[in-house]
Structure 1
Amino acid sequence: MSEQKLQSQTVQTTGHAWDGDLQEYNNPLPVWWVYTFYVTVAFAIIYWIIYPSWPFGKGWIGGLSSITYVNSDGETKTHSWNTRALLMEKLNKADAEQKPYFDKVASMSYEQIAKDPDMNGFILSAGKALFSDNCAPCHQQGGQGKIGFFPNLTDDDWLYGGTYAKINETITNGRHGYMPTFSEVLSPEQIDDLANYVASLSGIGHDAAKAAAGNTLFHSDTAACYYCHGADAKGRQVIGSANLTDKVWLWADVPGADTAEGKVAAIRTVISNGLNKGVMPTWGGRLSAEQIKVLTVYVHELGGGQ
């Protein structure tokens, strides 16, 4: 092998040596790596110029890129690029795309919306999004609610009425259900009699003698249950009192009890403690009239409204 070829295959050193034979090699970086490094440096400099980057004084270098959007107050703002401004811009774009549909919703009756295939698709899409953002935290994602807390919107049982007008009224103005605490005015035996009577209305196993006494108490001025639930115990939608004969349970967790005694006990607990948690907030000041109308149709369809 020639001396020139041998030298070309020998790793070059910097010429430094320690302890006689410890040398520092001179291995250049691969050319592709060097150029890649230069490209990343150039990209970083360009990025710093276009987008917000380094802290500067009490702020930062804003960059040349900016975003114009309309805020929640209807004011047009121009801001240096940031993720919040980008989100607002995307929301503005989405609102602009949906506006023709919301305008159409505002101009149509509920019956016309229900019969329009194109609007049905919009209601399903926009209504689902509105429901997920505003209603699902309480009524659950599918609208099935939670016994003891929030009504089931899929069972066609409407405390305040299931027409379009009533659902719209409920969403717009909110609701505040209430039932007094009967443990303060009735004895434990009387409450037990009432619980057995209510259980009998839904065909739940009960003590017949106690149910008969509960029937008398229910329709008397001592307990006065019929004032709210009606003489037929089918409730009054004008005040949102429950129908006690339809086997639909909102506050008493009757379905969760395995035995007849457990079901009666669940009813007894509600009668004894009363209710003051059937509160739904007012959405009239949070959502537009068009959004509430879309939600009304969406909720109406969840339970096959009236």
Structure 2
Amino acid sequence: MPFAASATAALDDSRGACVYSASDAASQRTPTTAPAAAAAKPAPVRPAATTSSGGGGDDDLPAGYVPLIKSLLQWLRPAPRPIEDEHWNDALRRAAWLRGLDDARRARLRTLATRFLHEKTITPIGELQLQVADGVLLAALCCLPLMEFGEVGLEGWSQLIVYPDAFRVQNSHMDADGVLHEWNDEVIGQAWDSGPLILSWADVQSELASPHDGFCVVVHEMVHKLDALDGAMDGTPPLPRAWQREWAADFQQSYDAFCAQVDAGVETGIDPYAAEAPEEFFAVASEYHFSAPDLLAEALPEVAAHLRRFYGEPPAMVG
């Protein structure tokens, strides 16, 4: 599926979940769909023309996403429990991406993380034990991509599942001949369009220890959640219509060029897993926005510019 200039495309059944794999020696990631399906590259998209119904407001509305009555019902919510300073400061100490934010954005992130902890259940699996400070850290990392988008990015799901380490999932794919293929993957993250977000705690910690390497599984999976908000996980999040058309055109051009480089064996500096599908290109590029923004700007300047507009400036890379 190409990058969408319109948010009306239906979600492909083969991509109900996006996974972040630990089995690929080159990139530590494999696609959700069967290898044969992943080989096809989408054709370039020509942004579709849209008509305005008048009033001058259509181009300012998110395509495919209309908030319901949430704002009218906010007063019915019980107040979230504030994050204690001790736990917030611990999260800042452990995550360079959080320390690199200015005071205003850090305060905004704390508000979002407070809402996250109020609305989501964090479920450790097996013998994993998470402390209160660990939950605050996970909430803050999940909310990094939402500092400009806002708390609407938390809608549509209610649970964060955390495994001690990489975990196994069963995948299936029906090929064009009607043959069902089933296989197991060892993954470090997974995001269902309307289900839980799942992470490997060991990999979260490993990436925190190397914050400049271009990897952040939490951001990667949260971006899939954002991507799915308009009804299609296609590499284009809910955006004002005019910007969505620009995004689709620029991302498609950059994606096609990137795929050609990967197919030719060219070293791009960006994880080649980004070539698997438009939604993975968006998610991987977002990881680099937060953890290696200079590399992203050099390799994919048009993409980097859109992500700066969407997420705000990347954190200053403090130690």
* Bucket of the pairwise TM-score, normalised by the shorter protein: under 0.3
TM-score relative to the length of structure 1? 0.23
Q: Which has the higher contact order (CA 8 A, sep 6+)?
A: 2
Q: Which has the larger radius of gyration?
A: 1
